[in-house]
């Protein structure tokens, strides 16, 4: 068995030697360089351009503006599976270039030049005349009557408003003796900060257009480039090489349509669009800032009588992933701590800010910041122990979601809490840090999370796999599911080796997706790669195995049902004798003069299930009150992601998610100038992504309850680690100081305000 083993990554050797090719490494040097001109107002209309000086720059090939976009093919950008039901399709509100500016940084023109210096010079020389409109940056102000309207079809800028109504909230709160706990909890705009910026290049091949892109979702890119160009989707070929991180930003169509369109404007010449870091921050996607208002009515015995959530999600200027993110976050509210009387109102609202899209956790990190901060506030209000209160109220074993039919099969929450508490010595520290005085204080805090793997039954869950047997008994494994750094290819190889019965070295994962060649799949999102691909790998592997054994029957005359493939050998099951090896069989199969077969298997599996992934974080901090800063001393995440396919890579995934969660909790925030809407800190110096020195040792623990719906007992782990660190850190600061920060991050600016208000400084 290879699943369950910490084998080395299949792509590690190339990555440590620099052989791995990323998009820019593949681009021919003859490429023209494209740069985008972004608006310098937050709301308005482009009236005209003066290109006269820019066009004089030597090396400028062509300057295209929004007024050159004659055919208005509006397209959506969310990396969602397409829906053939128009009612379920993503909002198509983008053009490759627009004259109607909706945020500071909108795409209004592009320069195509022979080199980057000429492109940059020309960009600086373009003069733009605008008609400026008032703009709005605050999510709730955008909902007010009379606020600047971004999209005509969305009154009060509300992209969508959904509700959940369970029981009778109004009646339930009449119960005598209830304690009301109310709070507003807000998360900031943050960005993915993958180290490879988004980059793509495009050129014509025959009458078709090829786009090579740093994307998580090649098949979806093909569809949307087709939509944006108004051409048959088959006219588009998308190639996805290795990518330098994505984290959801690259689960969106970014500049592939523009790049393809630009190539067509210069006769199909190769055009490269390499997005500078500053533009990656604001002209790609961000994480939705969500303002949550929670009211809980709690009985003195520590049970919930009624609860209410209002969530206001800041979409920014265009719909992108839209309401799905806020809806997912808000949907977790009644599930995490079930209560018979619940009201939820979730709003996704346009503002004149950069476009928010998918980012690791997809609404759950924002939701957990609010819910788990609030849980701590509830504990404080009723004098309950934070761990005991959670144990009592968390989603119980056997809980089943009415919509997805997902079930909580195991006592995962308690198991995760137990393991994390032990790993960090929680009980002792919790007692020791009670009622401290002095300038420097320590605290320890907990937060849990719930995350739903994959997207069934909201969207299509289709996964296809192809296996092609080689003469030496090895085989290629091809999937639409993508390696984006998380280690998916390695997990796929392990699963395929187990199903077919070959040494893992005999599985050659074709990492690069090419939509002309790669089986269809909607790719990397929703922490679904291992879960979803597992089904098609198992199904296809069994088909390949059947074909191999059928041929083995021809060669050995033994009944196929008495044969198996073990470690690359054809084995007779009753006596375990090795009859031949796969190399002999495969070579014979290909070159046989009387019965030649090329043994391949390909199948599609439609997944009609998904799985709850659970876990918690416990964080220990030291707070320097006069200096207004919290230092993270220790942190542990414990996850139940089902059976781990590769424990070492799972641990590494958890580290990365924790790191992102730490930044979310302590330091990261993208800021905008109130007067102009201009981004203020869109670079890696001013945006405080945590460094090597901002982390303590990151500890990852696991509980491995085999997920019964899964092909390999596994479920989502990509996003879950980022969901609970921030509120755990916040709650640790609360434990240390008695001050509960409402708005993330708990950086010195916010701590200064909070400590001042609390009279600590």
Partner 1 sequence: MSKQYKQIHCVINGKEREAMVDVRASLTDLLRNDFRLTSVKKGCEVGECGACNVLINGECFNSCIYLAVWADGKEILTLEGLEGPNGEISDIQQAFIDEAAVQCGFCTPGAIMSAVEILNEGRELSDEEIRIRMSGHLCRCTGYENIFRAVKKTMRKRLGLDG
Partner 2 sequence: MYDIKALYEAESVADAIRLLQEHPEAQIIAGGSDVLVQVREGKRAGAELVSIYGIDAMRGVTYDEEGAIRIGSLTSFSHIAADPIIREKIPVLGEAVSLVGGPQIRNIGTIGGNTCNGVTSADSASTLFAWDAIVELTGPDGIRKVPIQEFYIKAGKVDLRPAELQTAIIIPKKAYEGYFGNYIKYAMREAMDIATLGCSVNVCLTEDKTGIRDARIAYGVAGPVPMRVPTAEAAAKGQPVCRETVETFAKSVLEDIHPRDSWRAAKAFREHIAVEMAKRALTKSIELAGGEIRE
The dihedral over CA atoms of 509, 648, 411, 368, expressed in degrees to the nearest 10, equals -90
Q: In this chain, which of 690, 705, 710, 724 binds partner 2, going by CB under 8 A?
A: 690
633 lines the binding site for partner 2 (CB under 8 A): no
116 lines the binding site for partner 2 (CB under 8 A): yes
* Region of 360-368, 406-414, 426-434, 665-673 interacting with partner 2 (CB under 8 A): 665-673
Q: In this chain, which of 148, 244, 257, 541 binds partner 1, going by CB under 8 A?
A: 244
**What span, in angstroms and rounded, lies between the C-alpha atoms of 111 and 123?**
7
Report in angstroms the alpha-carbon separations of 75 from 151, 155, 263, 320, 364.
15, 21, 18, 10, 27
Query: What is the SS3 assignment for 215?
Result: coil
693 lines the binding site for partner 2 (CB under 8 A): yes
12 lines the binding site for partner 1 (CB under 8 A): yes
Q: Which is nearer to partner 2, 116 or 310 (CB)?
A: 116
List CB contacts of 402: < 8 A, sequence separation 6 or more: none
Q: What is the DSSP letter of 724?
A: S
Q: Which of partner 1, partner 2, none interacts with 752 (beta carbon under 5 to 8 A by kind)?
A: partner 2
Q: Which is nearer to partner 1, 245 or 365 (CB)?
A: 245
Q: Which of partner 2, partner 1, none interacts with 277 (beta carbon under 5 to 8 A by kind)?
A: partner 1
660 lines the binding site for partner 1 (CB under 8 A): yes
Neighbouring CB atoms inside 10 A of 608's CB total 11
Which residues are registered as beta bridge partners of 635?
Answer: 619, 698
The dihedral over CA atoms of 391, 395, 399, 405, expressed in degrees to the nearest 10, equals -150
Burial class of residue 540, CB neighbours in 10 A (0-12, 13-18, 19+): buried
Q: Which of partner 1, partner 2, none interacts with 744 (beta carbon under 5 to 8 A by kind)?
A: none
Q: Which of partner 2, partner 1, none interacts with 680 (beta carbon under 5 to 8 A by kind)?
A: partner 2
Say if CB 670 and CB 682 are below 8 A apart.
Answer: yes
Tokens of 296: 């809980």
Say if CB 188 and CB 661 are below 8 A apart.
Answer: no
747 lines the binding site for partner 2 (CB under 8 A): yes
Binders in 116-135 for partner 1, by CB under 8 A: 117
120 lines the binding site for partner 2 (CB under 8 A): yes
Query: What is the SS3 assignment for 35?
Result: strand
Q: In this chain, which of 144, 182, 686, 757 binds partner 2, going by CB under 8 A?
A: 686
Q: Taking the mean position of all CA atoms in its chain, how far away is CA 319?
A: 17
Q: Which of partner 1, partner 2, none interacts with 673 (beta carbon under 5 to 8 A by kind)?
A: partner 2
Q: In this chain, which of 79, 218, 241, 245 binds partner 1, going by CB under 8 A?
A: 245
Backbone angles phi, psi at 56, to 5 degrees: -80, -15
Q: How far is the CB of 378 from partner 2 (least distance, A)?
A: 30
Q: Which of partner 1, partner 2, none interacts with 688 (beta carbon under 5 to 8 A by kind)?
A: partner 2
> What phi-psi label fits residue 18: left (phi over 0), alpha (psi between -120 and 50 degrees) or beta?
left
**What span, in angstroms and rounded, lies between the C-alpha atoms of 382 and 378?**
6
Q: Which is nearer to partner 2, 298 or 751 (CB)?
A: 751
Q: How far is the CB of 699 from partner 1 (least distance, A)?
A: 9
Binders in 154-213 for partner 1, by CB under 8 A: 192-197
* Region of 4-12, 466-474, 541-549, 665-673 interacting with partner 1 (CB under 8 A): 4-12
Closest CA to 451 of 647, 734, 232, 716: 716
680 lines the binding site for partner 2 (CB under 8 A): yes
Q: Give the CA radius of gyration of the chain.
A: 27
Residues 57-96: x where in contact with partner 2 by CB under 8 A, - otherwise, as a string = ----------------------------------------
Say if CB 351 and CB 315 are below 8 A apart.
Answer: yes
**What span, in angstroms and rounded, lies between the C-alpha atoms of 106 and 355?**
10
Binders in 480-499 for partner 1, by CB under 8 A: 484-487
Burial class of residue 594, CB neighbours in 10 A (0-12, 13-18, 19+): exposed
Tokens of 59: 């090396």
Q: In this chain, which of 103, 242, 475, 531 binds partner 1, going by CB under 8 A?
A: 242
Q: In this chain, which of 15, 19, 56, 124 binds partner 2, going by CB under 8 A?
A: 124
Say if CB 717 and CB 647 are below 8 A apart.
Answer: no
Interface with partner 1 (CB under 8 A): 6, 8-9, 11-18, 20-22, 24-25, 29, 117, 192-197, 242-245, 247, 274, 276-277, 484-487, 648-649, 651-653, 655-660, 662, 683-685, 689, 691-693, 695, 697-698
Interface with partner 2 (CB under 8 A): 115-117, 120-121, 124, 626-628, 667, 671, 673, 680-681, 684-686, 688, 690-694, 747-749, 752, 761
């Amino acid at each position: 068995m290879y699943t369950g083993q910490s084998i080395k990554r299949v792509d590690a050797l190339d990555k440590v030697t620099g052989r791995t090719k990323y998009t820019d490494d593949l681009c021919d040097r003859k490429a023209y360089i494209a740069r985008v001109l972004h608006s310098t107002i937050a709301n308005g209309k482009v009236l005209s351009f003066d290109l006269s000086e820019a066009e004089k720059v030597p090396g400028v090939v062509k300057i295209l503006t929004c007024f050159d976009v004659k055919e208005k093919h509006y397209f959506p950008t969310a990396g969602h599976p397409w829906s053939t039901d128009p009612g379920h399709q993503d909002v198509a509100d983008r053009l490759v270039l627009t004259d109607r500016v909706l945020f500071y940084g909108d795409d209004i023109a592009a320069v195509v030049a022979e080199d980057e210096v000429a492109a940059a010079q020309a960009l600086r020389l373009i003069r733009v005349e605008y008609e400026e409109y008032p703009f709005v940056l605050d999510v709730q102000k955008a909902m007010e009557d009379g606020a600047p309207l971004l999209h005509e079809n969305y009154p009060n800028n509300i992209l969508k408003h959904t509700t959940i109504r369970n029981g009778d909230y109004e009646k339930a709160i009449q119960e005598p003796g209830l304690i009301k706990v109310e709070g507003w909890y807000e998360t900031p705009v943050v960005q993915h900060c993958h180290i490879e910026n988004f980059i793509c290049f495009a050129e014509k091949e025959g009458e078709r257009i090829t786009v090579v892109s740093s994307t998580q979702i090649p098949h979806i890119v093909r569809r949307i480039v087709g939509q944006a160009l108004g051409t048959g989707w088959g006219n588009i070929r998308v190639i996805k090489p290795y990518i330098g991180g994505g984290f959801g930003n690259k689960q969106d169509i970014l500049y592939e349509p523009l790049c393809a369109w630009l190539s067509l404007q210069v006769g199909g010449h190769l055009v490269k669009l390499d997005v500078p870091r500053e533009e990656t921050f604001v002209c790609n996607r961000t994480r939705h800032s969500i303002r949550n208002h929670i009211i809980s009515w709690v009985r003195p015995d520590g049970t919930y009588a009624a609860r209410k959530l209002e969530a206001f999600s800041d979409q920014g200027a265009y719909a992108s992933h839209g309401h799905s993110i806020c809806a997912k976050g808000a949907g977790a509210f009644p599930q995490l701590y079930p209560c018979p009387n619940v009201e939820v109102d979730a709003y996704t609202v346009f503002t004149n800010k950069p476009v928010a899209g998918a980012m690791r956790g997809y609404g759950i990190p924002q939701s957990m910041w609010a819910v788990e901060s609030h849980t701590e506030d509830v504990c404080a209000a009723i004098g309950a122990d934070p761990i005991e209160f959670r144990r009592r109220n968390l989603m119980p074993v056997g809980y089943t979601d009415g919509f997805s039919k997902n079930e909580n099969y195991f006592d995962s929450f308690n198991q995760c809490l137990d393991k994390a508490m032990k790993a960090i010595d929680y009980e002792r520290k919790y007692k020791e840090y009670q009622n401290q005085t002095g300038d420097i204080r320590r605290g320890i805090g907990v937060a849990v999370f719930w995350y739903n793997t994959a997207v069934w039954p909201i969207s299509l869950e289709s996964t296809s796999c192809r296996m092609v047997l080689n003469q030496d008994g090895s085989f290629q494994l091809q999937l639409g599911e993508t390696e984006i750094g998380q280690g998916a290819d390695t997990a796929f190889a392990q699963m395929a080796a187990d199903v077919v019965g070959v040494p893992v070295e005999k599985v050659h994962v074709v990492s690069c997706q090419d939509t002309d060649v790669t089986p269809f799949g909607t790719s990397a999102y929703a922490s679904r790669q291992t879960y979803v691909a597992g089904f098609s790998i198992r199904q296809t592997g069994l088909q390949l195995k059947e074909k191999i054994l059928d041929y083995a029957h021809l060669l050995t005359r033994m009944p196929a049902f008495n044969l198996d493939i073990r470690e690359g050998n054809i084995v007779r099951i009753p006596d375990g004798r090795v009859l031949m090896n796969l190399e002999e069989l495969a070579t014979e199969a290909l070159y046989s003069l009387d019965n030649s077969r090329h043994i391949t298997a390909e199948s599609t599996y439609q997944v009609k299930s998904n799985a709850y992934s659970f876990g918690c974080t416990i964080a220990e901090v030291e707070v320097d009150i006069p200096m207004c800063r919290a230092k993270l001393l220790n942190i542990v995440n414990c996850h139940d992601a089902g059976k781990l396919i590769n424990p070492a890579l799972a641990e590494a995934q958890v580290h990365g998610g924790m790191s992102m969660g730490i930044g979310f909790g302590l330091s990261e925030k993208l800021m905008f100038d109130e007067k102009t809407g201009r981004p203020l800190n869109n670079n890696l110096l001013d945006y405080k992504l945590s460094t090597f020195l901002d982390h303590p040792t990151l500890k990852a623990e696991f509980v491995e309850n085999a997920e019964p719906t899964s092909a390999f007992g596994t479920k989502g782990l990509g996003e879950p680690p980022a969901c609970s660190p921030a509120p755990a850190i916040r709650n640790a600061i609360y434990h240390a100081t008695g001050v509960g920060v409402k708005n993330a991050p708990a950086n010195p600016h916010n701590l200064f305000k909070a400590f001042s208000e609390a009279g600590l400084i």
